[in-house]
Amino acid sequence: MTVMRTSEQDGFQTIKRWLEDRCAIHYPDHKRNLLQQRLARVQRSFGMPDFAKLAYEIMQAQNHEVQLAVMHAASTNHTYFYREKDVLEHFLGNVLPQLAQRNEIRLWSAACSSGDEVYTLAIMIAETLGMDTLRRTTILGTDISAPVIELAEKGVYPARHLEQVPAHIKSKYMQPVGIGHFQIVPEIRQACTFRRMNLKTTPFPFRKPFQAVFCRNVLYYFTHQDQIEVVETIADHVEDNGWLFTSVTESVRDLSPRWRQIISGVSRKRGVAT
């Protein structure tokens, strides 16, 4: 482990606390080295001498560019198409049939990273309900990290993100662009919108409720209290009896009475008619 001077220690602790208070991103003690390495990269990229200066820029100077870089460096963006198929199968078999007749389908991928989940959902709708239904569908993808939102908007992916995509789906909805990269076709991209958004910043800026929200593989980076607050606030923006999809390892059972777990990774919002 790297030994830090006191001002370095203080700077590191200040940034760690800022990440938790401002972004809900919690690094437990056993991941201290990982956070140090990630912050050191940001420090070097801005030509700063130490973490004390980095902490100063974030806190006192409120340097937005540095804040964004730290948020991005601290977040784990690993994702890929068709991730955790069991949960997606539930969406396909139990949720989509109930949404098929809606005038408007509204889905939200909260913490979407580079958008793989968003495009996976759009492709699933196109395949099962058809392009006409997809044209009545809005899928919003949001993430705290600006660079991943830019990637999502471009819709271009290296082959390793597409390993779980069935060959016939790949050839139908993804066009080769450059060496080993594929772009999502415009008809699918049109249904998908991306915004930078921090789940820790409330109230959320939505006027219309969603029928289903995907908030997968992000809650486990948050403290228990932040997990509670996030799933409670999401409930404010989901229709009664609407769905919340988490990772199978992220249960919302103990987080909020507003959600009723259906299977591991899938919950429904308690409503008047449940």
Ligand X SMILES: C[S@@+](CC[C@H](N)C(=O)[O-])C[C@H]1O[C@@H](n2cnc3c(N)ncnc32)[C@H](O)[C@@H]1O
Q: Which residues would be at the binding site for ligand X (CB under 6 A)? A: 23-25, 75-79, 83, 111-113, 117, 143-145, 148, 198-200, 216-218, 221
CB 118 → ligand X: shortest distance, Å? 9
CB 82 → ligand X: shortest distance, Å? 10
Reading the block at residue 218, the tokens are 């992000």
Q: Which is nearer to ligand X, 148 or 191 (CB)?
A: 148
Q: Which is nearer to ligand X, 56 or 204 (CB)?
A: 204
Q: Long-range contacts for 156-161 (Cβ within 8 Å, ≥24 apart)?
A: 156/181, 156/182, 156/183, 156/184, 157/81, 157/114, 157/116, 157/181, 157/182, 157/183, 157/184, 160/80, 161/79, 161/80, 161/81, 161/114, 161/116
**DSSP secondary structure letter of residue 195:** E
Q: Are 86 and 248 in contact (CB under 8 A)?
A: yes
CB 16 → ligand X: shortest distance, Å? 14
What is the distance between the alpha carbons of residues 215 and 87, in angstroms, rounded to a whole number? 12
CB 42 → ligand X: shortest distance, Å? 14
Q: Which is nearer to ligand X, 23 or 121 (CB)?
A: 23
Q: Which is nearer to ligand X, 83 or 136 (CB)?
A: 83
Q: Residue 13, SS3? A: helix
CB 222 → ligand X: shortest distance, Å? 7
Q: Which is nearer to ligand X, 222 or 259 (CB)?
A: 222
Q: Are 184 and 114 in contact (CB under 8 A)?
A: no
Q: Report how far apart, in Å, the C-alpha atoms of 25 and of each of 18, 73, 172 are.
A: 9, 11, 38
